[in-house]
Amino acid sequence: MTFPTPETWLAHRISYGETDTMGVLYYAEYLHLFERGRSEFIRARGMSYATVEERGVMLPVREAQCRYRSPARFDDLVQLRVRITEWGRASLTFAYELYSENRDRLLATGMTQHACVNASGRPVAVPEWLRGLFTSESPA
């Protein structure tokens, strides 16, 4: 499997509150998990999304999508793979793959597309420092 680098992995334990009556991770919770994944992606490169915002750049989600393949259950430790798959002039796209603990079973795939806007919400070109940071290998 070829997966464009750089990538970041996040481990996450499924809590009771994230499950539903069917006994599985509720479908909206995957988007929470994706958000944790991209925050970790940024943090792995030495910055936090909070700092990105302080620098006047916000990355609101324009579109989100998830394909559910196999359910996750309470207490499962799941593994999320995060990367950036597309750069627009004023946008970028994250892709996600959710795996079981041993990374041998694919549970879900998804994407989020983000606009790049300034503090007043106007679209702006992706700053060079952000693109450089997000395309760098994680130091760790």
Q: What is the 8-class DSSP label of residue 53?
A: H
Q: What is the 3-state secondary structure (H, E, C) of 6-52?
A: CEEEEEEECCHHHECCCCEECCCHHHHHHHHHHHHHHHCCCCCHHHH
Among 7, 9, 68, 138, binds a copy of itself (CB under 8 A): 68
Among 17, 89, 120, 128, binds a copy of itself (CB under 8 A): 17
Among 5, 75, 122, 123, binds a copy of itself (CB under 8 A): 75
Q: Any idea which residue has 């290998």 for tokens?
A: 137
Nearer to a copy of itself, 37 or 99 (CB): 37
Among 62, 103, 105, 122, binds a copy of itself (CB under 8 A): 62
Cα–Cα separations (whole angstroms), residue 6 to 18, 45, 56, 68, 110? 29, 10, 24, 24, 17
Nearer to a copy of itself, 42 or 84 (CB): 42
Q: Which amino acid is at 129?
A: W
Among 1, 2, 23, 102, binds a copy of itself (CB under 8 A): 23
Can you give the binding site for a copy of itself, defined by CB under 8 A?
13, 15-17, 19-23, 26-29, 31-32, 35-36, 39, 48-50, 58, 60-68, 71, 73-75, 112
